[in-house]
Homo-oligomer: A and B are copies of this chain.
Amino acid sequence: MIQIGDMVTLIGPRGKFVVKVSSEMQNIKNLGVVDTGKITEKDYGESINIIDQDYIILKPSLSDKLDALQRKAQIILPKDALQLVGMCNIQSGSLVIEGGAGSGALTVALAHFVAPNGRVVTYETREDFAAVTRKNLAMAGAEKFVELKIADVTKGFDEYDADAVILDIPNPWNVVTHAWKALAPGGFFAVYVPTMNQVEKIVSELRDNRFIEPKSMETLQREIVVGNGGVRPSFDMLGHTGYITVARKIL
């Protein structure tokens, strides 16, 4: 059932890899030169021998894809991407505008949830970021749900009746009126920013415009480690990523 051209996740001694099944030999970084064509003889959940080591074959999940992203800009972590998706009411069929594609991490997550009937339009001013986003969308099989525009969101949007506008840019307050125009009534405007000063400024701007219920939050996540000695939180933890602020357009 696995066919040439499919993306698969391989999990084994050397880590996790998201690769395209190909009829030709591939040189996969950290894994070696691999004949992925043999994977077509297997089923998902089975393992395959690659260079004398066993690798489990799985269908790439959203987490696998986000782990496998090529990174140029700092990427939004799943914990924050999922909060944005949920707080902005995104689901299959949604039209979402993203400002600042960066490396495309959030774009991949949004595409996952709007599929198969929705669409993500993502704006990016930098060509080098856009190039990375394109590669990541291809790896994630998300191109068909995403339109990537090289344009500056502070100049406005081409779309109307959007369900959500999500910005990961340093100056989102300059986009509030553009976002208002692009959104359907009740549509969600969300920003992701690293400093408290930015939270203050965007909330103030939202209060001055026709947006309701601005709500800001931070989300912290700790892994729990189950070892021989017992259970404890992981010593590794990211102390901060960014604050999320969400509000809804009213007329």
Tell me, in angstroms, the Cα distance from A82 to B89 when the chains sit together: 11
Asked whether A185 and B82 contact (CB < 8 A) given A220-B219, A224-B217, A235-B239, the answer is no
Q: Nearest Cβ distance between residue A43 and chain B, in whole angstroms?
A: 6
On whether A113 and B116 interact (CB within 8 A), knowing A63-B89, A234-B239, the answer reads: no
CA distance A95 to B70 in the complex (A): 30
A226 CB, min distance to chain B CBs, angstroms? 4
Number of interface residues of A (CB under 8 A): 78
CB of B199 within 8 A of CB of A224, answer yes
In the complex, the answer to whether B197 meets A231 with C-beta atoms within 8 Å is yes
- B216 engages A226 (CB within 8 Å): yes
A200 at the interface (CB under 8 A from B): yes
Q: Does A129 contact B (CB under 8 A)?
A: no
Contacts A195-B230, A223-B239 known; list 14 others, CB within 8 Å: A56-B212, A58-B248, A61-B186, A62-B86, A86-B109, A170-B229, A197-B197, A217-B221, A217-B222, A235-B239, A236-B239, A237-B237, A237-B239, A237-B240
Give 9 closest A-B pairs by Cβ, nearest first.
A45-B185, A237-B239, A195-B230, A92-B92, A197-B230, A196-B196, A45-B251, A61-B89, A233-B240
